[in-house]
Amino acid sequence: MTYDLIKRVLLYFGYDVTHICNLTDVDDKIIDRANEQKVESITDLTRKFEEYFFDDLRALNVLPADKYPRATDHIADMMEMIVGLSEKGLAYETEDGSWYFATNRKSGYGEQLVELNFNDMETSERGQEELKQNPQDFCLWKAFKPGIDREDSAWQSSKIRKGRPGWHIECSAMARKYLGDTIDIHGGGIDLKFPHHENEIAQSEGFTGKTFCNCWLHNGFVNINDEKMSKSLGNFMTLKSACPGPQEVRAYRYLVISSQYRNPLSFTLEVMSAAQKTLQRIDKAMGQIDQALEGVKLKDNQRISNLAAIAIPEALQNFETALLDDLSMPRAAASLFSIIKAVESELKLSAKTPDHELDLLGLKAAKDALLQMDRVFGIFYSVPLVEDAFPVDDDDNDNDQIPPAVLDLVSQRASAKEAKDWQLADSLRSRISELGFSVKDVKGADPIVSRITYS
C-alpha cells in the first residue's frame, strides 16, 4: 500500500500522476506451481491470482494504477534491451543460450542503494554459476530446459534462443515502455534493494545512458508477531484470512496507512483490536457530526468559532507538514485525531451545558477537514463484498471458513499431542492464536476451531 500512499499524497498536492504496476506472470515459482498443479495453461494460473490481487486492492480502497502491464505481453521489449546491452558490451550469451549482464563492465554497479560486499554474495542461480564470466553477473534470459520449463512460457527471436526472461529485465523494459528512460518514483519492499533494484538500475542505465530513477522509496515488512511472514513458518496470512469482515479490512487499511512506511509493521490481535477501536471512534465522531448538521442550513453571519478559525486550520497545516516530512503518517494521524478530540469536546460540552450553543460552523469545518485528510487516508468507504471473501456477520452464520494454513497447524498440533510433545503442541496453539483463531479440545472428537473476534 506504499504506492497507494505515495499516489494519494501526490494527488493531494495537485500533481499529475501516471502510475504503472507491472504484473509478473512468468518466473520459476509460477512454472513450478503450474507443473505441480498440472494446469494446461500457465495463463490460467496467473489470471486466477491476478483476480485475487485485484479483489484485495478493491477491498483495501487502493487507487488503481493507470495500467497493469503483464511481463508476457512485453517479451519483445525485453529482447530489445538484451540485444542493446550486448551491443554496448554489457551483456553476453552463454553456451546454452542464456544471457547475463556483465556487472564488472558497468561502473558503479551495486553502489546506488546498498553497499555490497561481493565476497559475501550468493552467486548461484538455478545451477548456472559455472556459465557466468563473473560470479556477480545476473541473468537477463534463461535458456529453455526440457523437462523443467514449459512450452507455454518460452519465446525466441532471430537473435535470442528459446527461453524466457529473467526477473529484473521485465521491470526495466516495462518501465521504459510506459514511463520513459527516467522515472520519477520507484518503490518496493526493503528486501528488493538488492539484487532487484540495483540490477534494474544497472541494466536500464546501461541501455539508455540516462538516470533510471530520481527517487526510491522502500517499505518495511508486515510481520506476524515480529516474525517475517513466511509459509515455512506457518504464519502466512492473506487479507481474506486475516480480515474476514469489512470492518477488519478498513481497520487494517488504517493500521497500515497510519504507520511509518519505512518501518516494519507487526500484525497482532492486540494491534488489530486497537486499530478497530480507533476506527470506531473516528466513525462515531463523523456520525455525530452528520447528525448535528442534519437539516441545518448555516447562515452567512454564523459565529466564527475557535474550532473553525484556529484548531482546524492548525490541524490541516500540521497534517500537510507531516506528509512532506518523508510521509510521516503517524504525525498525520495525530493531526486527524486533534480534530476528532476537538469535535468530541464540543459535543460533550453541548451535552453537559443545556444553554451552550453548539458550534455548527466548527463541526462543518471539522467534517470538511476530515474528508480532506481522507483523500490520503482513504478510510471513509464501504468495502466491496466479494463472494465468499468478506462474509457479513449474523447469528445464522457461525461457520466462518477456516484457512487451510490454520487447519494444517491444527493437524500438526493433534499429531504433536498424540506424540506427547506438549511443548510443540503449545507452540502450535500459540501460532494458531497469532493467525486469529482459537482451538478447543473435545474429548473423543475433533477439536473445535473458532475465529477470535477483535471486540
**Nearest residue to 238 (alpha-carbon basis) of 377, 389, 22:** 389
Please tell me the predicted confidence (pLDDT) of residue 234.
65
Rounded CA-CA distance 454/271 in Å is 10
d(CA 27, CA 390): 31
Residue 92 · residue 86 · CB < 8 Å:
yes
Residue 391, domain member (yes or no): no
Please calculate the CA angle 208-214-216 and round it to the nearest 5 degrees.
115
Q: Count how many domains the chain has.
A: 3
Q: 213 pairs with which residues across the strands?
A: 183
Note whether 158 and 10 are same-domain residues. yes
Label residue 123 left, alpha or beta by phi (over 0 means left) and psi (-120 to 50 means alpha).
Answer: alpha
- CA angle, 386 as apex, 381 and 392 as ends, to 5°? 75
Domain of residue 323, CATH code: 1.10.730.10
Inside any domain, residue 388: no
Give strand pairing partners of 138.
Answer: 101
Closest CA to 99 of 84, 118, 114: 84
Nearest CA-CA partner of 248 in 399, 369, 374, 400:
400
352 burial via Cβ count (<10 Å: 0-12, 13-18, 19+): exposed
Instruction: Indicate whether 117 and 261 sit together in one domain.
Output: no
**Whether 60 and 129 share a structural domain:** yes
Q: Classify residue 314 as left (phi > 0), alpha (psi -120 to 50) or beta.
A: alpha
- Do 338 and 429 lie in one domain? The reply is no
Same domain, 286 and 411: no
Same domain as 189, residue 262? no
Is the same domain home to 294 and 164?
A: no
Q: What are the cell numbers at 154?
A: 518460452
Identify the domain containing residue 321 by its residue range. Answer: 227-377
Residue 96 domain-assigned (yes or no): yes
Nearest one of 356, 18, 37, 71 to 185, comparing CA atoms = 18
Q: Which residues make beta-bridge pairs with 185? A: 215
- Say if residues 184 and 197 touch (Cβ distance below 8 Å): no
Backbone phi and psi for residue 283, each to the nearest 5 degrees, phi listed first:
-60, -40
The 10 Å Cβ neighbour count of residue 74 is 20
- 38 within domain boundaries: yes
CA atoms within 13 A on the CB side of 364: 15
Among 243, 256, 223, smallest CA distance to 436 is for 243
**80 shares its domain with 33:** yes
Say how far apart CA 66 and CA 105 lie, in whole Å.
Answer: 36
Task: Give CA separation, 453 vs 256, 258, 272, 352, 450, in Å.
Answer: 20, 22, 10, 35, 9
Task: List per-residue pLDDT tens for the chain, 455 residues long.
Answer: 899 999 999 999 999 999 999 999 999 999 999 999 899 999 999 999 999 999 999 999 999 999 999 999 999 999 999 999 999 999 999 999 999 999 999 999 988 998 776 665 554 454 455 689 999 999 999 999 998 899 999 999 999 999 999 999 999 999 999 999 999 999 999 999 999 999 999 999 999 999 999 999 999 988 887 777 766 666 778 888 788 788 899 999 999 999 999 999 988 888 999 999 999 999 999 999 999 999 888 776 566 788 889 999 999 999 999 999 999 999 999 999 999 999 999 999 989 998 888 899 999 999 999 999 999 999 999 998 654 444 333 333 334 567 777 888 888 888 888 888 888 888 788 778 767 778 888 877 888 888 765 43
Q: Which of 377, 393, 415 is where one domain is finished?
A: 377
Q: Which of 178, 203, 219 is the last residue of a domain?
A: 219
Q: Has residue 386 been placed in a domain?
A: no
